[in-house]
Amino acid sequence: MVRIVELGRERIAAIGDQFDETRQTGQLRTQGYRADLRAAGRTVVPELVRPTEYFHRADGAAAMADLLALPEPPDAVFCYNDLLALGALRTILSRGLRVPDDIALVGFDDIEDGRYSTPSLTTISPDKTQIAKNAVRLLLNRLDGDRSAPAELPADYTLEIRESTTGSVR
């Protein structure tokens, strides 16, 4: 979020909040969104945080339509995965708005479709190799009966800056 704030964006929305406790990904990303806004000295505006039942394109499109219906729509949106972002992108463009001129857009996961969308999607790219190694390590620990091992291991990530936030290919 700090990167979006650095671009001068004021009303930064989030799409993908999850209320179901079994869906921790959405909850963790909401916590990160709120922490990043606070770290940048911004206030979290509850109406800008949109829950979705799933992380599908249609959910992103519907949530973006809700955000655009607000009296003061956002000028940037962080989507909890790239599929949500691609759905949001479709809604933004169908309303005659421009990305990133009117609304900057960021996803999460760095799926291939985001590299080829128009505009290409800025995204947070998790270290998938590290995630796979962590998953195997956790599985082997469980198979060995090691219950003291952590249930989760963090993974590194990079920010892949593309046209949906900069307007130009980098």
* Placement of tokens 């128009």 in the chain: 118
Q: What is the mean pLDDT of residues 106-130?
A: 96
pLDDT band per the 50, 70, 90 thresholds, residue 70:
very high
Q: CB of 170 within 8 A of CB of 162?
A: yes
pLDDT band per the 50, 70, 90 thresholds, residue 112:
very high
What pTM value is reported for the model?
0.89
Q: What is the pLDDT of residues 6-63, one digit of tens each?
A: 888 999 999 999 887 766 888 889 999 999 999 999 999 999 999 999 999 999 999 9
Domain residue extents for the chain: 2-126+157-166
* Placement of tokens 């206030």 in the chain: 43
Q: What is the mean pLDDT of residues 151-163?
A: 88
Could you please state the CATH topology (level 3) that the domain comprising 2-126+157-166 is classified under: Rossmann fold (3.40.50)
Residue 2 has pLDDT above 90, yes or no: no
**How high does pLDDT run on average in the chain?**
91
CA distance 132 to 137: 9
C-alpha closest to that of 79 among 69, 70, 67 = 67
Q: How many helices (H) and strands (E) does the chain have?
A: 7, 6
